[in-house]
Structure 1
Amino acid sequence: MRVEADRDACISAGNCVMTAGEIFDQDDDGIVVVLQSDVTAEDEAKVREAVKLCPASALRLV
């Protein structure tokens, strides 16, 4: 499983970073940066929660 981010859709809410900071970060403008696109079984629950909480629906699992 991989996680992808639509940086154009991101509204800089930061929910992803608060939920899964080892997977997501924000650049200087607050836009999401995916640090690790391949999701391990250990991180899957946190990443799924981050995708669910994104107010802009800028994250998706593939």
Structure 2
Amino acid sequence: MSTIRISLDSDLCIGAGQCALTAPNVFTQDDDGFGALLPGREDGAGDPLAREAARSCPVQAITVEDS
């Protein structure tokens, strides 16, 4: 299994919430309603839905890179 690195561009995020709905073990929404990575989940925590969450983002604010 390859290791991944997830980043979320808060400047692009519009707060659609698709990331938190798709992969709630990796993403959440902050107090202002914008997407955020859960602490320690920058590697996706082995959640297969992390890539799907990136694909579901309407503004492509999430990047998933293989490392």
TM-score (norm 2): 0.82
Query: Of 2, 10, 13, which aligns to 2:16?
Result: 13
Per-residue deviation at 1:8?
0.7
SS in 2 for 1:25: strand
8 A Cα contact 2:5 2:42, kept in partner: yes
Amino acid at match of 1:27: D
For structure 1, the 5+ residue unaligned runs are none
Q: Structure 1 vs Structure 2: percent identity of aligned residues?
A: 42
Distance in 2, matches of 1:54 and 1:24, equals 12
* Equivalences, count: 60
**Residue 28 of structure 2 corresponds to which residue in structure 1?**
25
Structure 1 residue ranges (4+ consecutive) displaced by more than 2 angstroms after TM superposition:
none
SS in 2 for 1:28: coil
For structure 2, the 5+ residue unaligned runs are none
